[in-house]
Structure 1
Amino acid sequence: MTGIRQTSLPLATGVTLNVALAGDPANPPIILLHGFPESHRTWRHQIPALAERYFVIAPDQRGYANSSKPDGVEAYAADRIAADVFALADALVVDRFTLVGHDWGGAIAWMAALREPKRVARLAIVNAPHPQVFQRKLFDDPGQRRASQYIRFFRETELDRAPDKTGLEQFLLSLFGEHLQVTVPREEQAIYLEQWSQPGALTAMLNWYRATQIVVPAMDEDPPRPSWIDGPFPLQPQPTLVIWGMRDRGLLPCLLDGLETLIPDYRIVQIRDAGHFAPWEKPEEVTSALLEWLAARPAQ
Structure 2
Amino acid sequence: MSFGKKVLGVLSFVGTVPWVLFCIGRCIFLILRHGPSRFFERKNHDPLPKVAQNPKFEHDYIVTKSGMKFHCVHSGPRTAKLMLCLHGFPECWYTYHHVLNDFSDEYHVVAVDSRGYGDSDKPESIGAYHRDYLANDVREIINALGHEKAIIVAHNWGGIVTWYLAHVFPEVIDKMIIMNCPHGEAFWEYTLKNPSQLLKFWYVFLFQCPYLPELMMSALDYIMLPRTYNQMPNGILDPTKRLTSEEMGVFKYCVGRNFKYVCNYYRAVNPLYNGMRLKKKVEIISTPTLVVWGMDDAVLGNKYLPYLSKVVKNLKIVEVENCSHWVALERPDLLAKEMRNFLKE
TM norm. shorter chain > 0.5: yes
Counterparts in 2 of 1:192 and 1:69: CA distance versus 1, 3 Å: same
| Contact 2:217 2:259 (C-alpha < 8 Å) held by counterparts | no
* SS of equivalent to 1:35: coil
Residues 41-190 of structure 1: matches in 2 within 5 Å? 41-156=94-209, 158-159=211-212, 166-173=219-226, 175-176=228-229, 177-178=231-232, 180-182=234-236, 183-190=242-249
Residue 268 of structure 1 and its aligned partner are, at CA, apart by 0.4
Provide the rounded CA distance (Å) in 2 between the counterparts of 1:124 and 1:16: 25
Q: TM-score, normalised by structure 1?
A: 0.85
Alignment-derived partner of residue 6 in structure 1: 59
* SS of equivalent to 1:98: strand
Provide the rounded CA distance (Å) in 2 between the counterparts of 1:153 and 1:85: 27
Residues 20-59 of structure 1: matches in 2 within 5 Å? 20-59=73-112
Letter in 2 for 1:50: F
Residue 100 of structure 1 and its aligned partner are, at CA, apart by 1.6
Alignment-derived partner of residue 208 in structure 1: 265
| Contact 1:11 1:87 (C-alpha < 8 Å) held by counterparts | yes
Residue 161 of structure 1 and its aligned partner are, at CA, apart by 5.2
Letter in 2 for 1:10: V
The structure whose RCO (Cα within 8 Å, separation 6+) is larger is 2
Q: TM-score, normalised by structure 2?
A: 0.74
Q: 246, 254, 259: which is aligned to 1:195?
A: 254
Alignment-derived partner of residue 285 in structure 2: 236
* SS of equivalent to 2:170: coil
Provide the rounded CA distance (Å) in 2 between the counterparts of 1:191 and 1:142: 36
Residue 344 of structure 2 is aligned to residue 295 of structure 1:
yes
Letter in 2 for 1:58: A
Decide which structure has greater helix share: 2
* SS of equivalent to 2:208: helix
Larger Rg over CA atoms: 2
Q: Mean Cα displacement is larger for which, 51-60 or 147-156?
A: 147-156
Structure 2 gaps, min length 5: 1-54, 237-241, 273-281
Counterparts in 2 of 1:113 and 1:134: CA distance versus 1, 3 Å: same
Alignment-derived partner of residue 277 in structure 2: none
Alpha-carbon RMSD across the aligned residues, in angstroms, is 2.2
Residue 132 of structure 1 and its aligned partner are, at CA, apart by 0.5
Counterparts in 2 of 1:162 and 1:249: CA distance versus 1, 3 Å: closer
Letter in 2 for 1:274: C
